[in-house]
Amino acid sequence: MSPRPPLRTEAVSHLQIDADQAGRRIDNLLVSLLGNVPKSHIYRMLRRGEIRINGRRARPETRVEEADLVRLPPIRREAEPRAARGSGVRGQFLEGRILYEDEQMLVVDKPSGMAVHGGSGLRYGLIETLRNARGAGHFLELAHRLDRDTSGCLIIAKSMRSLRRLHGQLREGRIGKRYLLLARGAWKGADRTVSSSLKRELRTGGEAVVRVDQRAGKHAVTHFALRRQFEGCSLLSADLETGRTHQIRVHASHAGFPIAGDEKYGESVFNRRMHALGLRRLFLHAERLEIPLETGTAMTVESPLPAELESVLGTLPPSTPIAAGPTRQAGRKKS
């Protein structure tokens, strides 16, 4: 797909929706196309009825269709925000962490500490940085998400068609996702599956917290297996069958194996012990993806364990690695 020219916003302008843009919510589409125009300004224009689709007032949730004509009012762009200064450097940094790319998607090795998108006072996240680096004419959308403190494989769609396909594969459990985590406790016995429904709640101030709730929660399944055993802790792999918010962290804690460095669902004494050994982040890493391709084959992408996590393992008593095996294809459909 060839890049689209950036929108002219100094005067009234019109955008005709193409096949790649069709099906998107108008608010999300404009956020990705209008560069450094603040989200608040885009939503204000929508509330005031200044953005119209085929002559009719658009609401934020309105989805555009191919050949729709979107009318935009004159928009005064902000001066480049302070948060964006140096974004070229950050963009180059992320470009250097791309593990796989084709015409439809890319997989980036997300560093810990970087949010996948802006919000809650954070102006630029990973997706905004990549969009800024590649220019407004390029379609880039998150196919899924990782917590801010989680590192590893993250899929980004490069077209609306690809985004729909990836979302369908994720819903059907056809994309294999494997994580590595260091947890408190000595894992004994065989592989273990945790099937406990999860409910997401908002605390005062807007902080999200997730808890096990078999009656009111959403179905969630995680498959855990031992990779290495240490004194008082275990390196585990976790294959996801569903993709709920904080799923691995909550399921691990619920099973009695809280993750090292987890300030929300972890165990304080264990966290202090790990901190003394040099751990300064959540020990959770998206190690591997298996993605079905349209050719009928499956592509495997892997991210090595970051050096700061390998360093922590190096301080623990040595043990023999256990073969990981193929990533579990957790869903009902295979490809």
How confident is the chain (335 residues) per 10-residue block, as mean pLDDT? 50 80 85 76 92 94 90 70 59 94 95 84 80 82 94 94 92 95 92 95 79 95 96 96 94 97 96 96 98 91 97 83 62 43
Q: Decide the pairing of beta strands 98-101 and 141-142.
A: unpaired
Residue 91 and residue 65 in one domain:
no
169 within some domain: no
159 within some domain: no
147 is catalytic: yes
Which DSSP category does 83 fall into? G
202 within some domain: yes
119 within some domain: yes
d(CA 267, CA 254): 12
Residue 21 and residue 62 in one domain:
yes
Residue 241 and residue 270 in one domain:
yes
Residue 188 and residue 271 in one domain:
yes
Q: What is the pLDDT of residue 253?
A: 97
Residue 136 and residue 224 in one domain:
no
Amino acid identity of 268?
A: S
Residue 302 and residue 208 in one domain:
yes
> What is the DSSP track for 203-250?
-TTS-EEEEE-TTTSB--EEEEEEEEEETTEEEEEEEESS--TTHHHH
Q: Which of 97, 243, 273, 254 is nearest to 172 (CA)?
A: 243
Residue 119 and residue 191 in one domain:
no
Q: What is the pLDDT of residue 132?
A: 86
Residue in 147, 149, 239, 262 annotated catalytic = 147
Residue 106 and residue 30 in one domain:
no
25 within some domain: yes
* Conformation bin of residue 61: beta by default, left when phi > 0, alpha when psi is -120 to 50: alpha
330 within some domain: no
Residue 64 and residue 93 in one domain:
no
Q: What is the pLDDT of residue 318?
A: 64
Residue 231 and residue 118 in one domain:
no
What range does the domain containing 213 cover? 175-314
Residue 30 and residue 146 in one domain:
no
- CATH (domain of 48): 3.10.290.10
- CATH (domain of 190): 3.30.2350.10
| Domains in the chain, number | 3
Kindly report the number of other CB atoms within 10 A of residue 124's CB atom: 19
Residue 227 and residue 106 in one domain:
no
